[in-house]
Amino acid sequence: MNHQLSNPMIDEVSGLFSALGDASRLKILRSLLDSKGPLSQGAVAEAAGLSQANASKHLACLVRVGLVSREPEGNAVYFTPVMPLVGELCDLVCGHVSDRAKMTYKALK
């Protein structure tokens, strides 16, 4: 491990993992990762299959923990995933989940 897990660091990491522990937030991150560029709140809501109010609440959380950046442009606000962190984190976790599923499948044979 490259970083010391002090109590303040544990608190910050816990907040990040808590943000990732919600399916709606993961759908938002997937939508942002799949997009060709920044998305407005309405576009995020539509792509993730959420109401605008729900998307707004979850986007605020993702911005607060540093997984999504928020850029105002005139009367609109656009969101992008913080890269490469979000892409690498999703690849790492999805790879782990896939490996576990394969191991479980092998054990059932």
Span 32-39, average pLDDT: 96
How many whole angstroms separate alpha carbon 34 and alpha carbon 20?
Answer: 17
Q: Number of H helices and number of E strands within the chain?
A: 5, 3
pTM attached to this predicted model: 0.86
Predicted pLDDT at 4: 84
pLDDT at 1 over 70: no
Span 1-30, average pLDDT: 91
SS3 40: strand
Mean pLDDT of the chain: 94
What's the pLDDT tens digit per position in 37-87? 999 999 999 999 999 999 999 999 999 999 999 999 999 999 999 999 898
Q: How far, in Å, are 11, 26, 37, 55 from residue 19 at the CA level?
A: 12, 9, 22, 13
